[in-house]
Amino acid sequence: MYGVNARPIPEEPPPDLPAPGTLLVDTSRNNRVGEFRGVAGLYWSLRPVGGGREWEVEPRHVRPALPIELLRARTARANARSRGEVL
């Protein structure tokens, strides 16, 4: 039940979740490209393409990677793999 001056806070529908491994761009961190790993509470977990520590971002700051960003990310992953940094 709500008070006289209270009203329910409308909930925004959750954004569609990308498939794990989808490359996304975090616009809150200088357009950093990351691989979608999953959901952590209200945040999405992304991991650097070439390996490294995951970070969390609000879904509203995420967009799909453009084709050129996909190419750069895949090249970075291949280079990291050739250096033995990732499997």
Q: In this model, does residue 13 exceed pLDDT 80?
A: no
For residues 26 and 49, the answer to whether their CB atoms sit within 8 Å is no
41 forms beta bridges with none
Residue 17, token pair as written in the block: 């979740």
User: Residue 9's pLDDT is what?
Assistant: 60
Assessment of whether the complete model's pTM goes beyond 0.95 = no
Tokens 């940094």, residue? 85
Delimit the domains of the chain by residue range.
Answer: 23-82
First to last CA, the chain: 54
Mean of pLDDT over the chain: 87
Q: What is the pLDDT of residues 66-76, one digit of tens each?
A: 999 999 988 98
Write out pLDDT tens, residues 18-46.
999 999 999 999 999 999 999 999 999 99
Contact yes or no for 21/33 (Cβ under 8 A): no
